[in-house]
Amino acid sequence: MLYELGLASRIPRSFLQTYAELVDKHYLHFFPFRLDEIPAHLDPVANVACHCFLGTYVQVASAAAIDVHEISPWIREWFFRYQTDDGGLNCDESVYSKARSTGSVTSTIAVLEAVLLESPGASDFIDRAMRYLLDRRLFRRLSTGETIDQAWLRPAFPCFYQYDVMRGLALVATYSLTMNRPIEMVQISEALEIVDACLQESGFIQGGSHCLGARTRVPQGPGLALLTNQLAKRPPLPRGLIILPPGDKH
| Mean pLDDT in order along the chain per 10 residues (250 residues) | 89 93 96 95 92 96 91 96 98 96 97 94 96 97 95 85 92 96 96 89 69 73 76 58 45
Find the Cα–Cα–Cα–Cα dihedral 112, 117, 120, 124, rounded to 10°.
0
pLDDT for the residue 233: 66
Q: DSSP states of 150-162 as a string? A: GGGGS--SS-TT-
pLDDT for the residue 210: 62
pLDDT for the residue 198: 85
pLDDT for the residue 122: 95
pLDDT for the residue 243: 43
Beta strand ranges found along 78-214 (DSSP E)? 199-200, 203-204
Q: Where are the domains of the chain?
A: 8-231
pLDDT for the residue 247: 47
Q: What's the predicted TM-score (pTM) here? A: 0.86
Buried/exposed 91-128: b ≥16 CB within 10 Å, e otherwise = bebebbeeeebbbbbbbbbbbbbbbbebeeeeeebbeb
